[in-house]
Structure 1
């Protein structure tokens, strides 16, 4: 039996539905769609895995969020157990394999349960005491719409989409070189032979031809295009529901561009209706045994009936003691929130998914003030800030407790980002059958952490943004991103001085905090609240959300106290004035990912990809501390 282990959070990213991974025994598998993650059964209580995050549910237009199931053995000593033997199914992919000895290519079904062995009678391994295990081929084919299929070995070697060769016997041979030209596929039936040179490349037929194509699509067969069939092996589909027609690109199955998880994250903000409800009641109602009792009662309620406190106490039976400290009125007020109708007025749309400002406005409004709830605690630091710092940083908040929820709502292939035109199609890739009303859900997980929120002075920011030199500085960056967006069919966005300023400041502070309080840069994350205009957002949150105890020890919050924060800020600005790669770095007109950075490199401002929201783009130290030619250009140039 082919099986392996993976952390539950990794089933959201990077090994969600449609992603490939290599198990401990060397088998390459692909994670199956959501249709079979929770198989209905007598001992299934899916509500145990429920994550309550009302903002993400409304925003993504789903009825629920669930963590991937964990595996539990069924112990005879503990009868009546729920959620045992739950597994996330995987399929063996690529389906094509070759024998390491005789190099014969064969194809096995996706659902094969054991590692296959060579069955070629001419293989020298057949004479040994055991037949050699087959190794899966290192190549696959994919398209930009998310489809994935086995490399077309038969069609490629015969240079035809419909080869006439009957019973082809293929072999994958290598001359020992390190290029694709050294890999050759041979058909021993008709003596056809062809190398794999160019299968991963992209080409544009001519300058007037705007449609980009691939070498595999254009040259598999002379005079005809071999396009994608829309295969989705993680859903058990060898061909798509509809014709795809996009160019097909060859790729190594371990390449980084084969799978990009689309993850939406949210800092939990209590609903306004929960302000008058005791958080202890909500916590008790969401406890595992009480949550199961609520689900049992909900299943037998008739239309129009409501769940009452007395009915819940009876359903909870021996676990009703968890509710004995609360009155019926308290319980029913909390039930009205938890069991109330779902607001679907903000479902997944082009505008809400691709514009983070629209979704984060509510976070920005809540986190900039003090709040004390079960999931979010924000306090104002004690003491006064120095005058020069207070003129530039108008607000600092200590986020002593936060809960971040990360949801997988789709995935991309080839490009890490996708245009807004196919948002719904990305979500549809996760499952084979469209869920019925009231049963749609997405995989998610939560992490706890703490952080520091800071906000710049609107008056100082407006005066700085109005400078001609500031706007002129960003022209090369904006032009470069415009070209990148056109090449990758991305939604255009406005690269503003405010965005670059806040983003660069977040990177500099994170790098400085790694020295000041010992966090690794990969355990800190940024969250930007930036939108243009006098009423726009102008804040940033630096927080820990690494899924372990490192993010809950209070070390980061203590750095937000005035005396410590000011030292961190001053040191970060001082270090930003000079980079070990200067003057090359600060005078650059384009460097970093997609050349969308100015004065920012690995020596000064870049972070691990897990810590950055913008793929390490839109960074410039010049807008922070000035340049060699214009030392007063930076927003913090006067801060010593």
Structure 2
């Protein structure tokens, strides 16, 4: 039986549905779609895995979020114990394998349960009863729309979309080199042979539209295109339901561009902060256990009915004691506020002169509006420092908040292949790749997981930031970076971004502070993360959150919040700015016209401003120390130049 162990969070990223991984026994498998993650059995209690995150559910258009199931041994003393012996299904892929001894190529079913052995009678073996295990081929074929299939071995070696060889007997041979040209597939039946040279190449098509195509599509057979057939082996569709029409590209199965998880994250904020209802009551109703009971009770209500206090107490059963402090009238008022979207207060908006069209990030703005002031809820605690910060810091960073508790939810809503981003395909198409059919109960859901942490939120001086952004030297310095990214975006199918001075300033400041906190606070740089709140305009967002969310106890020890207290955080900021004035790679770093990923950084390298990619939202792009500290020739270029 093929099986392995994976952390639950890894089924969100990087091993979600459609992703390949190699198990401990060497078998390459692909994670199956969401259709069979929670099989409908008499002992299934799916609500145990429910994550309540109302903003993500609303934003992604789904009714529920669930953590991947964990495996639990069956207790034979309690056979009705729910959620035992559950696992995430996987399929053996690639289906084609070769023998390490005789090099024979053979296909096997996706649901093969055991590691296959060579069945070729001509295969040399130590004795008559022992045959070598087969190794899966290292090559696959994929398209930009997310489809994946086995490499077309039979078609490739015969140079035909529809081969005429009746009983092909293939072998994969190698000449001992490390290139694709040294790999060769042969057919012993008709003696055809062909190397794998250029199967991963892209070339310009000769048609009038000038669209890119691939060598595999254009040259598998001359004068005929071999296009994607829409295969989705993780959904059990090895051959594809219909032709996709996109060019096919060969790839190593372990290449980084085979799977890009599309993950959306959110900092949980209370569903309402209305003062018309007792905050303690709202906290009790939003408690994870009671929220789960509300969800279950809502499913059993008649159509059009609303959840009432009596229904909630009856559904809570042994957990009803959590509501004993409130009478039915209070519970009805709280439920009316939480269960009826029409009763929800509007999300705080920017100042009246700022319109929705000016703010391109409404999803982030909800978090931004809540983090700016004090808040006390079961999942999010924001505190205003009791003492003021020093005047020189308060002038530049007038708003600092201590986030003593936060919960981040990360949801997998789709994936890409070949390109990390795709602006040509609708988001619903990417989400549809996660499952074969719609769920039977009609409840659309996505896999997710949560992590707890703490953080420091800070916001720059609006007036000073507006004056700084109008400096012509700032725009002149960033113009080459913006042009380079536009070129990269066109070449690699990335979404367009507004590479603004505000984005680069806040992003670089976040990196400098994280590097400094790792030295003074004791956290590793991989356990700290940034979250940027940036939008254009004088009244747009201009904040950043540095927080811990590593999924373990390290994120809840309180050390980060303690470093944000007055008397400590001033030193962190000053030391971060002072250390950024000079890099050990200067003058090469400070004078660089472009470096880092895609050459989309200026004065930023591994010695001064780069972070582990898990800590950065922008893949270590859009960084420049010059906009923070200034340059030797242009000291006024830096926002923090006046900070001694």
- TM-score above 0.5, yes or no: yes
Aligned to 2:147: 147
Q: Distance in 2 between matches of 1:281 and 1:557?
A: 26
Q: Distance in 2 between matches of 1:450 and 1:95?
A: 45
More divergent stretch after superposition (296-305 vs 421-430): 296-305
Change (3 A) 1:489 1:343: farther
Aligned to 1:93: 93
Distance apart, 1:77 and its partner CA: 2.3
Aligned to 1:468: 472
Aligned to 2:516: 512
The question of 1:308 aligning with 2:308 is answered yes
The question of 1:377 aligning with 2:378 is answered no
Structure 2 unaligned residues grouped into runs of 5+: 348-355
More divergent stretch after superposition (504-513 vs 205-214): 205-214
Task: Output one character per residue of 1:128-161: Cα deviation in whole Å (capped at 9) or x when no partner.
Answer: 4422111111111111111111111111111111
Matches within 5 A, 1:211-610: 211-272=211-272, 276-279=277-280, 283=284, 297-336=297-336, 339-340=339-340, 357-419=361-423, 421-435=425-439, 438-610=442-614
The question of 1:108 aligning with 2:108 is answered yes
Q: Distance in 1 between matches of 2:560 and 2:319?
A: 38
Aligned to 1:635: 639
Distance apart, 1:323 and its partner CA: 4.0
Secondary structure of the structure 2 residue equivalent to 1:473: helix
Secondary structure of the structure 1 residue equivalent to 2:430: helix
Distance apart, 1:283 and its partner CA: 4.7
Distance apart, 1:278 and its partner CA: 4.5
Q: Distance in 2 between matches of 1:375 and 1:299?
A: 24
Distance apart, 1:417 and its partner CA: 1.7
Q: Distance in 2 between matches of 1:411 and 1:234?
A: 13
More divergent stretch after superposition (385-394 vs 14-23): 385-394
Q: Distance in 1 between matches of 2:338 and 2:140?
A: 46
More divergent stretch after superposition (542-551 vs 409-418): 409-418
Matches within 5 A, 1:44-55: 44-55=44-55
CA contact (8 A) 1:32 1:89 kept: yes
Q: Distance in 2 between matches of 1:531 and 1:296?
A: 39
More divergent stretch after superposition (219-228 vs 403-412): 219-228
Q: Distance in 1 between matches of 2:204 and 2:563?
A: 53
CA contact (8 A) 1:370 1:379 kept: yes
Aligned to 1:10: 10
CA contact (8 A) 2:283 2:378 kept: no
CA contact (8 A) 2:585 2:607 kept: yes
Change (3 A) 1:110 1:356: farther
Distance apart, 1:316 and its partner CA: 4.5
CA contact (8 A) 2:72 2:84 kept: yes
Aligned to 1:127: 127
Q: Distance in 2 between matches of 1:172 and 1:49?
A: 45
Secondary structure of the structure 1 residue equivalent to 2:409: strand
Distance apart, 1:310 and its partner CA: 3.0
Aligned to 2:350: none
CA contact (8 A) 2:272 2:338 kept: no
More divergent stretch after superposition (434-443 vs 203-212): 203-212
Distance apart, 1:182 and its partner CA: 1.3
Secondary structure of the structure 2 residue equivalent to 1:453: strand
Q: Distance in 1 between matches of 2:284 and 2:8?
A: 23
More divergent stretch after superposition (199-208 vs 416-425): 199-208
Q: Distance in 2 between matches of 1:107 and 1:232?
A: 16
Aligned to 1:38: 38
Secondary structure of the structure 1 residue equivalent to 2:229: coil
Structure 2 length-normalised TM: 0.93
Q: Distance in 2 between matches of 1:628 and 1:171?
A: 65
Distance apart, 1:562 and its partner CA: 2.4
Matches within 5 A, 1:67-216: 67-125=67-125, 127-205=127-205, 210-216=210-216
Cα root mean square deviation, aligned:
2.5
Secondary structure of the structure 1 residue equivalent to 2:141: strand
Structure 1 unaligned residues grouped into runs of 5+: 347-351
CA contact (8 A) 2:281 2:326 kept: no
